Amino acid sequence: MKYLVILWLCLYSSIVTAHKASDSYLTLNVQDDATVLGRWDIALRDLDLLLNLDENQDRQLTWGEVLQQNQAIEQLARSNLLLQRGEPCQTFQFQPLAIDSHVDGQYAVLQFQTQCASAGDWQLKYQLLANIDQTHRGILQWQQNYQVLTPANTWQTLGIATTKTQTFSQFWQQGVIHIWLGYDHILFLISLLLPVVLIRQQQGWRAVTDWRVAMIDATWIVTAFTVAHSITLVLAAQQWLYLPSRWVESVIALSVMIAALHNLWPIWHRYRWLMAFVFGLIHGFGFASVLADIQVEGQISLTALLGFNVGVETGQLAIVLLLIPILYRFRESSKYQSLILKGGSGVILLIACLWFVERVFAIQFG
């Protein structure tokens, strides 16, 4: 039991200041065999981390503060992105800096042009945030092919068509990573699963005597959550349905609060699967934030979407298969209800409240 208490303490300390995984979006198109036109969208929060854009430290970036660092931003881009074709291409020539809204916030838009050799293999070196954030990903569109750039693989050979299998594999990995780093999604699921090893009675809770009862309850919850977020993931990723990112992230935090509160004051214990489905629809928009800014067309987009969704489900299944046996093992302990169910839900509630305030009022505690 003491190990579970330690787990909750670690959970609180590591998650309460957690930030969303970082992504950038890079598009490269070859014109006249040697001229390359590029667009690189980098999150302002990442540029602020690297260049300290928020000069007055009021946690609110203004257009003026961004423009003051225009040359530094361009130099940062040149030093973290190298394109070559047998030999390095010429220095990037940038257009005036612009800002664009993505589903997870404001991004600086760097449009540039460069001249390269007329023959040779195309290679790209990408190392943005390589020494700071190993979870960072760059989503590259190269001549209608999509590749995922990671700090662990800074050199990428271009010009080779990506197969459906490769695309599926790349986005499957990103789906797994996204759910494992999606602490709000994980805590929502954990909150719903904490009571599966208990049966609600008028006098309170009692431990289940058959593990199959717990597994059936967990299956209903996980299935409802999976179906719901898969629906809105597809709708949002294909841009058939849109909700503002700030609203989505705030409601996701609210869903974690409600799930944790329900463990403290259970009202619809038998219908937690319905809670999983209703709020799962909103969580799907959160999952889609990784894909919503990728303008893909045709079959490869469906492959990427399928790979990402299967990756999310794989990561989610791994969490469930790890969690349920632990909960079942300690279900009859005298401390389970007080420390794990109520204490754990209290910790989750506190974290979710902090998230909710951060997201609604656009402030940052950590």
**Given this model, what pLDDT does residue 153 score?**
67
Q: Are residues 316 and 273 in the same domain?
A: yes
Would you list the DSSP string of 292-323? TT----SHHHHHHHHHHHHHHHHHHHHHHHHH
**Given this model, what pLDDT does residue 14 score?**
46
Q: Are residues 342 and 276 in the same domain?
A: yes
Q: Which phi and psi (to 5°) does residue 350 adopt?
A: -65, -45
* Domain presence at residue 175: no
Residues linked to residue 85 through DSSP beta bridges, in sequence order: 87, 122
**Given this model, what pLDDT does residue 182 score?**
86
Using CB atoms within 10 Å of the CB of residue 293, give its burial: 0 to 12 exposed, 13 to 18 middle, 19+ buried.
buried
**Given this model, what pLDDT does residue 240 score?**
84
Q: Are residues 342 and 318 in the same domain?
A: yes
Give me the sheet containing 87-88, strands edge to edge. Answer: 87-88, 81-85, 122-126, 155-157
**Given this model, what pLDDT does residue 297 score?**
41
Q: Are residues 11 and 65 in the same domain?
A: no
Using CB atoms within 10 Å of the CB of residue 305, give its burial: 0 to 12 exposed, 13 to 18 middle, 19+ buried.
buried
**Given this model, what pLDDT does residue 296 score?**
44
- Encode pLDDT of 126-144 as tens digits: 999 988 887 888 888 887 7
End-to-end CA gap in the chain: 30
**Given this model, what pLDDT does residue 157 score?**
83
DSSP SS3 for 222: helix
- Encode pLDDT of 1-12 as tens digits: 554 444 445 454
DSSP SS3 for 327: helix
Q: Are residues 83 and 221 in the same domain?
A: no
Q: Are residues 300 and 348 in the same domain?
A: yes
Q: Which spans in the chain are helix H?
A: 2-15, 44-51, 63-68, 70-80, 164-181, 183-193, 211-237, 245-264, 272-287, 299-330, 344-361
**Given this model, what pLDDT does residue 142 score?**
84
Q: Are residues 352 and 211 in the same domain?
A: yes
* pTM (two decimals): 0.76
**Given this model, what pLDDT does residue 47 score?**
93
- The parts of the chain modelled with pLDDT lower than 50 are 3-8, 10, 12-14, 16-19, 296-300
Domains: count for the chain? 2
Q: Are residues 88 and 197 in the same domain?
A: no
Which amino acid is located at 325 in the chain?
P
Q: C-alpha dihedral over 89, 94, 97, 101, to 10 degrees?
A: -40
